[in-house]
């Protein structure tokens, strides 16, 4: 029996993000191992019910003696590495989210452990993971060796399956010192509370013809009608100044794999596909029937986005 760790990510209000459940499912594999949930920012009490449902048997609250772990990624990674050693955890799983990627990479660097990020599949028995190379153009299988390994999983890539057990909550005090070399001075919140693209189940994206920042309103309205949907942009829309860079989907923007991706006024350039081709269902709305995006989507709507998108918003609303 091996000890396997799962770094649990919580939201601002201290709830377990639901994207963790697929990660726990992957870490559980065929069973037979002890699964540790590792919490850096979060209370065992509020997280216990959610994570034990998926098979976390031990839930560890990590803190540091005399140092504040919150918003100090360097210290967090040191504490996490210590906890892994203490509990003899030789495989660590986590989310390949913005926060997860950073802390997993820091931890792997400290432990000098092999690391694979953005994995979409895990085979514990064979010690292999699968992920994309070349932005979704190829699918790679990677064999991991060594005493300890760390693996980040793309949000929503692995389906969550319940496997209930009773979690024991415990705490671990790491002995780490702040090097004082880096300090998070401020958190600049985005202009609006947006759903993060890389963690969203549904995404609606606007291309260059959206024409202005204000016009993104039709997409935000539709996103609302779709549920917890995020709004993205093509590079042309970003470079034209209609949307901030962090809304860009694609090769030089974000890689997403939601259940549903709706591209509005996006031509379907290879670099755009690079960021969204692994979405489960792709819908294209474009006024040119010969737009390349129609050749690689599931549903195509030929029409003016300024007419079709509001109509879709309406149809979704009246359907609810």
Partner 1 sequence: MQIYVCIKHVPDTAVNINVVGECGFDESVKFVMNPYDEYAVEEAIQIRKKAGGEVIIVSVGKEAATKTIRSALAVGADRGILVKTDTQFLDSSLTAQALTKVIEQDGSPDMIFTGKQSVDSEGMQIPYRLAAAFDMPVVSDVAALSMGDGNVTVEREIGSGSREVIEMTLPCVVGAIKGLNEPRYANMVGIMKAKKKKLDQIDIADLGLDINAAGTKLTELKPFPERGKGKILQGSPQEMAEELTQLLKNEAKVL
Query: Which lies closer to ligand FAD via its Cβ, residue 151 or residue 256?
Result: 256
The item of partner 1, ligand FAD, none sharing an interface with residue 275, based on CB under 5 to 8 Å by kind, is ligand FAD
- Choice from 90, 269, 294, 316 touching ligand FAD (CB under 6 A): 269
**Terminal-to-terminal C-alpha distance of the chain:** 48
- Choice from 110, 208, 220, 224 touching ligand FAD (CB under 6 A): 208
Query: Which lies closer to partner 1 via its Cβ, residue 55 or residue 152?
Result: 152
Token duo for residue 90: 């030789």
Kindly state the smallest distance separating residue 13's Cβ from ligand FAD, in Å. Answer: 32
CA distance 34 to 105: 23
Kindly state the smallest distance separating residue 316's Cβ from partner 1, in Å. Answer: 6
Kindly state the smallest distance separating residue 168's Cβ from partner 1, in Å. Answer: 31
The item of ligand FAD, partner 1, none sharing an interface with residue 266, based on CB under 5 to 8 Å by kind, is ligand FAD
Query: Which lies closer to ligand FAD via its Cβ, residue 18 or residue 208?
Result: 208
240 binds ligand FAD (CB under 6 A): no
CB within 8 A of 98, min separation 6: which ones?
196, 198
Kindly state the smallest distance separating residue 300's Cβ from ligand FAD, in Å. Answer: 11
The item of partner 1, ligand FAD, none sharing an interface with residue 184, based on CB under 5 to 8 Å by kind, is partner 1
249 secondary structure, DSSP code: B
Residue 214 has a CB neighbour count (10 Å cut-off) of 9
Query: Which lies closer to partner 1 via its Cβ, residue 177 or residue 179?
Result: 179
Q: Distances from the Cα of 274 to the Cαs of 150, 170, 219, 265, 268, in angstroms?
A: 25, 42, 22, 17, 10
49 binds ligand FAD (CB under 6 A): no
Kindly state the smallest distance separating residue 193's Cβ from ligand FAD, in Å. Answer: 24
Token duo for residue 312: 């879709």
Query: Which lies closer to partner 1 via its Cβ, residue 52 or residue 248?
Result: 248
Kindly state the smallest distance separating residue 232's Cβ from ligand FAD, in Å. Answer: 9
CA distance 24 to 21: 5
CA distance 210 to 315: 21
Q: Distances from the Cα of 205 to the Cαs of 98, 137, 157, in angstroms?
A: 20, 21, 20
> What is the length of the chain?
320
Burial classification of residue 63, based on how many CB atoms lie within 10 Å of its CB (0-12 exposed, 13-18 middle, 19 or more buried): middle
- Choice from 17, 58, 272, 277 touching ligand FAD (CB under 6 A): 272
22 binds ligand FAD (CB under 6 A): no
CB within 8 A of 217, min separation 6: which ones?
none
Kindly state the smallest distance separating residue 48's Cβ from partner 1, in Å. Answer: 26
Token duo for residue 116: 């694979």
* Kind of pairing between the strands at 128-133 and 115-123: antiparallel
Query: Which lies closer to ligand FAD via its Cβ, residue 76 or residue 255?
Result: 255
Which stretch in 22-30, 71-79, 190-198, 259-267 sits in contact with ligand FAD by CB under 6 A?
259-267
What's phi and psi for 278, nearest 5 deg? -90, 10
Query: Which lies closer to partner 1 via its Cβ, residue 162 or residue 311?
Result: 311
Binding site for ligand FAD (CB under 6 A): 207-209, 234-237, 248-253, 265-267, 269, 271-272, 275, 285-288, 291, 304-306
């Amino acid at each position: 029996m091996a000890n396997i760790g799962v770094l649990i990510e919580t939201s601002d209000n201290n709830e377990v993000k639901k994207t963790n459940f697929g990660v726990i499912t992957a870490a559980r594999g065929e069973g037979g191992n002890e699964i540790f949930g590792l919490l850096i920012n979060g209370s065992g009490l509020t997280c216990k019910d959610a994570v034990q449902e998926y098979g976390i048997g031990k839930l560890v609250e990590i803190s540091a003696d005399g140092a504040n772990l919150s918003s100090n990624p360097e210290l967090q990674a040191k504490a996490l590495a210590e906890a892994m050693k203490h509990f003899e955890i030789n495989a660590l799983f986590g989310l390949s989210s913005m926060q997860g990627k950073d802390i997993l990479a820091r931890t792997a660097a400290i432990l000098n452990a092999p690391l694979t990020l953005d994995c979409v599949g895990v085979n514990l028995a064979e010690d292999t993971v699968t992920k994309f190379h070349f932005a979704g153009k190829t699918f790679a299988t990677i064999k991991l060796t060594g005493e300890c390994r760390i693996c980040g999983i793309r949000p929503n890539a692995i389906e969550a399956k319940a496997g209930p057990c009773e979690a024991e909550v415990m705490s671990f005090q790491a002995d780490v010192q702040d090097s004082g070399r880096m300090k998070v001075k401020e958190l600049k919140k985005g202009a609006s509370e947006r759903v993060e693209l890389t963690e969203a189940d549904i995404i609606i994206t606007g291309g260059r013809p959206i024409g202005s920042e204000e016009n993104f309103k039709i997409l935000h309205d539709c996103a609302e009608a779709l549920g917890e949907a995020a709004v993205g942009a093509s590079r042309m829309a970003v470079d034209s100044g209609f949307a901030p860079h962090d809304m860009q989907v694609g090769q030089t923007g974000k890689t997403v794999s939601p259940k549903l991706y709706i591209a509005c006024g996006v031509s379907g350039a290879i670099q755009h596909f690079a960021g969204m081709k692994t979405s489960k269902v792709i819908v294209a709305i474009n006024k040119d029937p010969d737009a390349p995006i129609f050749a690689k989507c599931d549903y195509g709507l030929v029409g003016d986005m300024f007419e079709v998108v509001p109509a879709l918003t309406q149809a979704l609303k009246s359907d609810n």
